[in-house]
Structure 1
Amino acid sequence: MKKNRLGNSDLYVSALGLGCMSLGTDEKHAQEIIYAALEEGINYFDTADLYDVGANEEIVGKALKDVRDQVIIATKVGNRWNKNHSGWSWDPSKKYIKEAVKESLKRLQTDYIDLYQLHGGNIEDNIEDTIEAFEELKSEGIIRYYGISSIRPNVIREYIEKSSIISIMMQYSLLDRRPEEIFPFIKEHSVSVVTRGPLAKGLLSEKWTSKLSEKGYLEYSHQELHDLLSSIQNKLVSENRSMTELALQFNLANDTVASIIAGASSVKQVRINAQATRSDSLNEDERKILLTLTKENIYKEHR
C-alpha cells in the first residue's frame, strides 16, 4: 500500500490507517482485525486513551508489540475520565498531558509514541500551556511528533501558527466538505490532514440504502441524500468502481490528505477498505461530477 509523508516529519503512513475505536473489547476478534490490517499493508494505527477507558490502547499495544518498529502508533489525550468512569471532562493542561502519557505508554507496552494528538480543543484553552507539554515530551523522546484532532478553523490556525504540529485529524467526506476551506492554509504550512469518517456512517458505502435516516446527515435532508446517492450510484458506480472506492479516493484526491483513518469492526471490512484505497485514483471526470453533485459547505462556528 502507498505510504505518504506526514507533514515535514520522517513518518511515512499508509494511505489507509486503521481507526481502532470500533475494535471492541473482545481481544481475539480485535487482534484478527489488526493482523488483517497488517497483511493489507497498513502501518498506521490510531487509538486514544478515551476509547473503552484505556482498554483499546491495551489491545492495540499487545497486538503490535512484536512489530513495534514497523508501525506508526498514534494515540490521543485531553479527555479525562472521572473516578467512577461514568463520564469525562476536558483537560488540555500541561500537568495532565504529562501524567496521561505515562499511562498510555504502559497500556501500549511501548516506550515512545509516534504521534500524540490533542483529542479536541477550544479557542479558550491555554494553548501555549498545551504546546509546552507536547514540546517537552518531544524533546524527552517520549513522543516523536504531535498533532491535533479538531475541525475548528480558529483552533487549527492557532496551533499551526504557534506549534510544530505535523498533522490535523478532521472529519471529511463527500457529504462533509467543510474542511476544504482551510486545506490551502494547512498545506501552505507543510502540515498534513488525516481524515476520519470518510464513509459518513456508511452512507457512502454499498449499504447506503439501509443507512438512510429520516434525520438526514448534516446539511442534507433525507430526500436530498436519497437523490444525491442515487445520482452517484447511477453515474459513477459500475462493475469496476464501488461506492466505497469513490468515497475513499475522493479523500485521497486532495494532496493535503496524507491518510484516511477508517474504522473496521470485521476483517472483511478492513479488506474492503484496503482494496478501495488501492483502486484507481479518481479521473478528472469522476472528480468533477462528485464536486458538482455535493455541497461545498463551510463551518458556521469556530471562525
Structure 2
Amino acid sequence: MRILVAGATGAMGRELLPRLAEAGHEVFAMVRGESAKAAASRLGAVPVVADALDRAQVEAAVREAAPEVIIDQLTAIGHIDTRKFERSFAATDRLRTEGTDNLLAAARAAGGVRRFIAQSNGAFTYARTGGPVKDEQDPLDPAPVAPMASMIAAIGHLEKAVLGAAWTEGIVLRYGAFYGPGTSMAPGSEQLEMIRRRKFPVVGDGGGVWSFIHIADAAEATVAAVENGGRGVYNIVDDDPAPVAEWLPELAAKLGAKKPMRVPRFVGRLAAGTAGVVLMTELRGASNTKAKRELAWQPTHPTWRQGLTPNP
C-alpha cells in the first residue's frame, strides 16, 4: 500500500518507516523542512515537504503522495517540565488539533485514503476514578487538573475527528509511556539520570499506575494496525501496568541507585507541580487485550521489567 507518515522523523518515525518499507509498503514521509529529507530517505521513505500547520502545503503533500493510508504521528514533545505541563505540551496540542484537521481535510479532498491512523495517548489521559487499569471503552479524564486540561482536550479533539470521519476508516492508537532509543527514557537520558541521582522521588503513596511501551513495539503495533486494524481505539501498551511505588524503585535498582526518596504530596506539589502529583499518585494504567486480539500483535518487550534497562 501507499502510506504517508506525518511526523516521520521523530523517535517513532525512526522505528516505523523502515518497518513499513520492509513489509513491502510504498512509504512517503511528510517532513517539515529540507534538512529532514535526507533522514527520511535513509529510513526508506520518499520525502514530501510540508508544514503540518499550513493547510495548503499539507494538501499539496497528500496529492503528491496519493496515499491509501495516512499515519498521523505529529508531535513536538521535548523535555516535559511537570511544573509547566501546559507549556510543555502546547506545540503538540496544536499539532493534534490544527495539524490533524489539516491532514483529514487534505485526505478527504484528495480521495482514495482508505485508512487514517492517528497517535493518541493512553499513558496520561484516562479518568482517574474506578479501577487501576482501563480499556478502550473507558473515558478520557472528564475533569482533569488545570495544567493537564489542554493536553487532554487536544487528545479528545483528535480522537473525535478521526473516529468521526465517515469517509475513511479511522483508527486511534493510545500509546503508553515510551521508552527505548530516542525517547525520554532512553539509556543515558536525563530522566534516567535523575532516577540514578535520587532526584526522582516517590510522591505520596506512589499509587499512580503507569503503562509503558517500548518504542519498537509501538512501531510494530502501528504496522499491525495498517494491515489488520478496524475503525476504533486501541491501547498500545505492554502487559504489565504498574504503580510508581513499584516500578520506580525497581528501575532505580537496575540503575545501581539507592531507593528513591519518598515525599508527601504537598512537597511533591512544590517540586513537580499539580500535574506531577497526578502522574505519581492518581494515574490509571491501560489494558492491551483488544490490541493483541484484533491486531494479531504481541509486544516483544511484554514488561518494562526486562525492556527498560540502563543499557542499549
Using the size of structure 1 for normalisation, the TM-score is 0.36
Using the size of structure 2 for normalisation, the TM-score is 0.35
